[in-house]
Structure 1
């Protein structure tokens, strides 16, 4: 038997759950990219700030600002890539 006019196959996971929607894929890509970008920037910026002998609020401000910028940028590109992939 073939599919009828109104019957659309639904992709099911191995345990019976449905797969994420296209928006779900993009959202997941954004959050994965955001986390990866923030972690990478935190490591590199911390060493850079310590090398310049920054302390206290100057150190935290510099690291936090660049972490948010890098996370947002990399998250956006990952969301675009995940959108293209599905």
Structure 2
């Protein structure tokens, strides 16, 4: 299949590259949101020290993965 060329000679990213980029952007945004909400919720229930770090890390990974998945699906629809 021929590579599509843009108006200035650059090739366009493939659909898979766009989906990967959407997942990475969504994962980064989800991690930031997970850090904020996870810290607040863990401090609210009284976690401290290593337990706090584990809880916040778990929340960050969960929200990053969820938001990244939805962003990847959205980028896949746009392809």
Q: Give the TM-score normalised by structure 2.
A: 0.87
User: In structure 2, which of residues 53, 56, 75 is the aligned counterpart of residue 60 of structure 1?
Assistant: 53
C-alpha root-mean-square deviation of aligned residues, in Å?
1.9
In terms of Rg, which structure is larger? 1
Q: Which residue of 2 aligns with 1:10?
A: 4
1:61 CA displacement: 0.4
- TM-score, normalized by length of structure 1? 0.80
Give unpaired runs (5+ residues) of structure 2: none
Structure 1: runs of 5+ lacking an equivalent = 1-5
Runs of 4+ in 1 over 3 A off after TM superposition: none
Give CA deviations for 1:32-61 in whole Å, capped at 9, x if unaligned.
111111110110111122222311111000
Please state which structure has a larger fraction of its residues in helix.
2
Q: Number of paired residues?
A: 79
